[in-house]
Structure 1
Amino acid sequence: MKPPFLPNRPTGQPEGTDGQSRRRQANEESDELDLFPWLGNLWEGRLLILAALVASLSLGLFYAWWTPPIFQSEAMLQLQAKKEKPSDASFTKMESLFSEPVDTRSEVEIIKSNLILGRTIEALDLDVVAEPILAPIVGTAMARRDLKAPRMEVDTLELPLLMQGHFFSVVALPGGSFQWLAPDGAVLGKGQPKELVTAEYLGEPLKLQLRRFWAPAGQKFRLFRRPMQDAIERLRLDLDVSERAKLTNILGLSLRGQDSVKCAATLNKIVDEYVRHKLEKRSAEIAKAQAILLGKMPELKARLETAENRFSQFRSRSGSVDLSREADGFLSRSSSLSSQVSGLKQKREELLRTYRETADVVTTLDQQISKLQQEMNQIDSKVRVLPGLQQEVVRLSRDVQVATELYTALLNNIQQLQLASASDLGSVVVVDRASVNLEPVAPKKSVILLFFLFLGLACGVGLVALRRSLRRGIEDHRIIESKLGLPVFVTIPHSKAQRLHHETIQRSTDGLHLLAIQDSGDLAVESLRSLRTMLNFYMKDAPNPVILISGPSPTIGKSFISANFAAVLAQSGSRVLLVDADLRRGKLHKYFGLKNRLNGLSDVISGQQGWESVVKTTEVERLDVISTGLLPPNPSDLLMLPRLATFLDEVSKKYDYVIVDAPPVLPVTDATIIGATAGTVLLVAKFAQHPLDELRTAVKRFESHGIQVKGCIFNDIKPVGWGNNYRRYNYIYNYGFNK
């Protein structure tokens, strides 16, 4: 039954309470912070994220397999500042010659010094590099896992300094022999393992001896010696030395390398060289102290003999002289002071080998010596008041006693130094030596895989976000409603069945190709039924039943919508005329299995035929079609003829609905020409294809010709089937029935 059509309301009149509430609801929804669309985008891009995860994990697995294992060996040293104080106090004085307070920071630097590391490198030939030339990238990784992989161990490599850093070559020959090649490829010699090969290159003598060598014939090795400083820096980077805990004097040493056995041997050699250095330093200091004491020995011995002779001569001349108690006290005190002064002067000489005379420690010692000498002078002044014989006895006895004490102390010190020199105990104790650790400390494969897992996830999400940002087309119908104020009547989901129909249409196969007829239960058809329900409400005030369907650009599915919507209207009992007004690329005739487009709209407008003669009945009951007719060279000029308005007015009286499939509005003006006579104009927008500005321009194009676009049809929605996008589709699907 033909619906009633009322006069169109004046321009600017409100659409009604329902339209306003819908627009207000769209604005409120657009302002909400909704995470579901983003989650939906992630779900839509799940294959891309999965591909990024697989690629990243594959890269991580390859990296973990390719990265060489790093082993670590550890050792521990205890630094001792001084020995326990010996029973002989005189030896304590000499202990300061070769014992000193421990400064762990200084010891750390000594261990990492060029001296210690250089000795280690020379002893173990760590500056010699002999490696097989294998396949790039994977060759080295595969060789690590092959017990039969080519290997070469160098026992002797003597090169002049100017050739260090240059690459020599060793090529395996049949029978286990090898050939030595110069950097320019010249043959230097041939030999067997453990056989010394001598050669001359650029006037310089060269020597090579291999400890072990096994490789298939033809295998090539790269051989070179690193400059010593370069080798030291490399070893220093792999070595870590630190105090285990503060003020414990315990040093922990750790060394990392790709060869666990070589790593332990190298660290033990570093420890041995450090201990050797400390012992050499201690022995040198002891030898130096012995030399000083032995140098003073003749002088002190002569002094003692002189004092004894003078005292013996005095007794021979004067006989026995009894000293008073006072004189005996002066003698004892004077002898003690003389010994102290002599000891302090000796200590001062030792300090002057390290400090200047202006140093605080030296000036303090000078003050002590001066004070003792003043006290000695006071005693001497008291001795001078004694009787003459007693004065002489005190003086001579004091000389003998002081000389005896000094000489005895000297002999004791020399003896103790000899014992210390013979002992192999030093100021360093090796608590733990390095052992071979077969468990690698790096790489941490679980950490690597976890890192690449997060990296792949981040890259996948980033790619999805990038793809989403590059898609400028609108994917949310609420944006159209909120930004353009244009109600979206219906959203039509993507139909896989329609894709098959489209392929059939492209092949120009005869027969009916309407989704609404052949697959009436498809969700896209259900959406068109919702549109039919909505238009019954919105077209009450339309001046005529002509519905113009256009869009901003081609290939957006407007012909599909026009044909199937016409079929849906016809199924409801209405008489429907479908007009293909796209006089440039129209193809509606293919949907109905018509052989060609001839005898159509162009013939009616040009006056060649009446519209009744070009109407073609279809297999769909109550649905007639008018094709484009012969495509004219000037469609716009033809459509501007008054016969178009007359034609639409006449068919409006015969049919309940007249569906006009018009060309896109932005490329050409045909749609605006036809729209001037249409009662209802609908704009088709395709999912994710149109930027907002494109839709805005299309609406303004109609409005500039005084044509109001009633609403929008959002076509080809591809719901991700999860989250808010799916709920949004359900909402639109039932939208018309909730009015």
Structure 2
Amino acid sequence: MATQLIPRTEPIQAIPAVATREDDIDLPNLVSTLADHKWTIAFGTLLFFLLSAAYAMLATPKYEANAVVQVESRPPTVPGLSTSSATPMPPVVDAPAATESQLLTSRRVLGEAMSELDLDVSAKPMRLPVIGDLIARAQQRFNPGVLAAPWLDLKQYGWGGERIDVAHLKLPDALMDVPLRLQAGEHGRYVLFGPDGQQLLEGTVGRTASNGQGVSLDLKTLVAQPGTRFELRKFNPVAVISALKNDITVAEQGRSSGVIALTYAHEDPIRAREVLDKITQAYVRQNVARNSAEAAKRLQFVSKQLPNVRRELANAQAALNAFQTRTHTLDVGMQNQALLNQTVALDTNIRQLQVQLADAGSRYTPSHPVYASLAQQIARFEGEKGRLQGQISQLPDTQQGLFRLNRDVEVINQTYANLLDQEQQLNIARASAVGNARIIDPADVNLDSPAWPKPMLILAVGTALGSVLMVALVLLRQTFRRGVEDPIDIELLGLPVYASIPFSARGRQIATQPGRRRRDGRQRLLALRSPSDLAMEALRTLRTSLHFARMEMKNNVLMIAAPSPGVGKTFVCANLAVTMAQAGQSVLLIDADMRRGTLHQAVGVRSEGGLSELISGQITPEDAVRKVPGTERMSFISRGAVPPNPSELLMRPRFAELLKQMARDFDVVVIDTPPVLAVTDAAVIGHHVGTCLMVVRWGLNQQREIALAKQRLEQNGVDVRGAIFNAVEKRGSGQYAYSYYDYRALHEAPARR
């Protein structure tokens, strides 16, 4: 990988723009990323599978009740209700299923079902958390109807077979929607406790108990072990109706078919069927009531008119009798009978039309065509009546009086007879009214197959969801990490990559071996413990590159820097120094990170008596330089005691003199420095070295971070010669462009079958 370096002719004033490659989708890289995290994905998927299985086992089953209602589009018929030709029929409008669906779940219908079934009262036994419901269901499956004995003497919980039926519960507003605790006793006795544990009342099954403070309770049934606790709650009726409306599904079967299917799921299959039964029955009853409302309204009007007409008839008959007695007349003469019949017919029609006009006035406005037509007919009959009145006025006074009184009696009598006939017809109509809705399939429940949970569906969805989430998590983590994963990204910053060191699982294992305090004196050097590791082969390549590059440098001091902590800089320094020593060079390894240096742990020596004491003059170079066991030509200076002013110590002239002396005494001096972006120590040390390399960790350091560290060193006059790409993992296409082949000695290779 050759990269042309552009020499810098003037100080850098700002962070240069980071050159990046196009963010194309690399499918092989994507697949490789998922393959490298296959165990994470598999573990997450398995976890979701187990959680789904646990949910399928522990979830309380819900049984679904189904019912079908048909709404016909024909207009509702009211048997026995005759319609006058003068009154036009209302237009026939098909009742849409959407409207009927809203009526099915209206508060009036649901409220009737709630009142009949006491849905606003909840009473259930308390179960052992998490697994109590599962145990109770299993007990009832193997011993149906049998009251289970408590487990582990936990008498406060119900273990299966408990039954409670609340006949009546009255609570003050302060206790509405508040869970109360009912504890079963012996011989049907019980005690009701409030939310704070205070006793509200004590009673017996079958008798209403009250505390005189607005709390009363009547239990019809209580089957439980003594000491079993129940949760008792009375809900707000409006909230119950709202929840019931959300739980009931209403859908039309086919477009404009008028067939409506209802479904309702509940833990108790009997309760689910009863609720749907009550709702459908209440809907049909109210549908009939809506359709017979016209007959009921007319009957109410006729019933109000009958007493008045009866009273008028009695008065008219009394007046006729009194007139005949006073004038000694018996009846209207034959010559005037035709005139009387015409007058009676007109008055009868006028009275009937007036009754219809009053009825129409309660339903229509005066400008309505029906109302206007009736008014016009009355006016026409009144005109004809006026013409007959002119003929009657020519009769003698006695004949006029007798004529008038007979007419009133006949008219009122016919009107009364008509009203009686209408009352009978309307009574029949109201009693025999037929609606346009009927129940096709009554509510029923499949007790053998709960609607929920569906184990196979839950397992399939849970496993698929787990796989998708884990894949998304891996890709999201990879996206947000955004660390460099290709040496080309580093070389675009003007840093040639001297070596790509593959990730060493053996090196991590050695670094984390016991003892955990890391002060046990054990060496943790991969170069000595596993010299054939691929990471060591990469370090040997780096050693070769540095051997030739160092000939052009001002001295033999090599500084290893890093942008941030955790990149493996100490690992590179220690093992690179060992490889150089194994090549026959005398090497001095210096831990210049006097704040948090850990090279002494890798070498297996104490940190005291090191660089900080040497610079401050507390010890001599002979006391500070220590031989590293296992290597003949490698020495080591630890960081020393942590000083309060590491940067100031490094800026003392004594530090520069010590480096010059060590450079004369050893072939190579390798210095491990603190992170560049954290402190300024690396910039101070860099003035005294001949070569500076920066360690970049695969997948951790971002391009901008590397560019900023390089800029900070160069602003202080430190030339960064190149980079060491550490902990490289294989990824996607082009991975062998910067990886190393496993080419071990023949006796270490696995036997070929």
Q: Same fold (TM over 0.5)?
A: yes
Where do residues 191-590 of structure 1 align in structure 2 (5 Å cutoff)?
191=204, 196-202=206-212, 206=216, 208-210=218-220, 212-226=221-235, 228-229=237-238, 231-239=240-248, 254-276=263-285, 278-279=288-289, 284-285=296-297, 287-288=299-300, 291=303, 294-295=306-307, 296=309, 341-355=350-364, 357=366, 361-371=370-380, 373-374=382-383, 413-420=422-429, 424-432=432-440, 434-438=442-446, 439-442=449-452, 452=462, 456=466, 460=470, 464=474, 474-482=484-492, 484-499=493-508, 507-508=520-521, 519-531=530-542, 534=545, 542=552, 546=556, 548-552=558-562, 557=568, 561=572, 565=576, 576-582=585-591
User: Any conservation in 2 of the 1:244–1:250 contact (CA below 8 Å)?
Assistant: yes
Find the counterpart in structure 2 of residue 83 from structure 1: 77
Alpha-carbon deviation of 1:216? 1.5
Match of 1:434, SS?
A: strand
Question: How far apart in 1 are the matches of 2:276 and 2:262?
Answer: 8
Question: How far apart in 1 are the matches of 2:685 and 2:180?
Answer: 86
User: Any conservation in 2 of the 1:676–1:707 contact (CA below 8 Å)?
Assistant: no
Question: How far apart in 2 are the matches of 1:475 and 1:253?
Answer: 59
Residue 168 of structure 2, aligned match among 157, 179, 202: 157
- Give the structure with the higher percent helix: 1
* 1:437 maps to amino acid: V
Question: How far apart in 2 are the matches of 1:127 and 1:629?
Answer: 78
Task: Note if 1:128 corresponds to 2:121.
Answer: yes
Question: How far apart in 1 are the matches of 2:419 and 2:639?
Answer: 133
Match of 2:372, SS?
A: helix
Match of 1:153, SS?
A: strand
The CA deviation string for residues 178-220 of structure 1, in whole angstroms up to 9 with x for no partner, is 32436475485553x5xx324442277956242x332112112
The CA deviation string for residues 63-85 of structure 1, in whole angstroms up to 9 with x for no partner, is 55335525334241546633288
The CA deviation string for residues 499-529 of structure 1, in whole angstroms up to 9 with x for no partner, is 465559975459xx87567755422233234
Q: Which has the larger Rg?
A: 1
Alpha-carbon deviation of 1:712? 1.3
Match of 1:709, SS?
A: coil
Find the counterpart in structure 1 of residue 737 from structure 2: 731
Alpha-carbon deviation of 1:543? 5.1
Find the counterpart in structure 1 of residue 719 from structure 2: 708
Question: How far apart in 2 are the matches of 1:87 and 1:114?
Answer: 31
Residue 670 of structure 2, aligned match among 661, 665, 676: 661
Match of 1:427, SS?
A: coil
Cα distance change of structure 1 residues 227 and 570 upon mapping to structure 2, 3 Å threshold: closer
Question: How far apart in 2 are the matches of 1:73 and 1:241?
Answer: 10
- Normalised to the residue count of structure 2, the TM-score between the two structures is 0.67
Alpha-carbon deviation of 1:12? 5.5
Question: How far apart in 1 are the matches of 2:602 and 2:103?
Answer: 92
Question: How far apart in 2 are the matches of 1:271 and 1:593?
Answer: 85
User: Any conservation in 1 of the 2:77–2:434 contact (CA below 8 Å)?
Assistant: no
Question: How far apart in 1 are the matches of 2:575 and 2:725?
Answer: 15
Residue 66 of structure 1, aligned match among 39, 51, 59: 59
* 2:211 maps to amino acid: Y
The CA deviation string for residues 112-164 of structure 1, in whole angstroms up to 9 with x for no partner, is 56655444444333333322233345435654554242533336326476697
User: Any conservation in 2 of the 1:551–1:683 contact (CA below 8 Å)?
Assistant: yes
Find the counterpart in structure 2 of residue 640 from structure 1: 656
* 2:225 maps to amino acid: P
Where do residues 154-193 of structure 1 align in structure 2 (5 Å cutoff)?
154=165, 156-157=167-168, 159=170, 165=176, 169-174=181-186, 177-181=188-192, 183=194, 185-186=198-199, 188-191=201-204
Aligned length: 670
User: Any conservation in 2 of the 1:304–1:404 contact (CA below 8 Å)?
Assistant: no
Question: How far apart in 2 are the matches of 1:589 and 1:267?
Answer: 79
Q: Percent identical across equivalent pairs?
A: 23
- Normalised to the residue count of structure 1, the TM-score between the two structures is 0.68
- Structure 2: 5+ residue stretches without partners: 10-16, 141-146, 148-159, 395-402, 644-648, 742-753
Alpha-carbon deviation of 1:254? 4.8
Question: How far apart in 2 are the matches of 1:315 and 1:360?
Answer: 46
Match of 1:426, SS?
A: coil
Alpha-carbon deviation of 1:350? 1.5
Cα distance change of structure 1 residues 246 and 402 upon mapping to structure 2, 3 Å threshold: farther
Question: How far apart in 2 are the matches of 1:114 and 1:677?
Answer: 87
User: Any conservation in 2 of the 1:559–1:661 contact (CA below 8 Å)?
Assistant: no
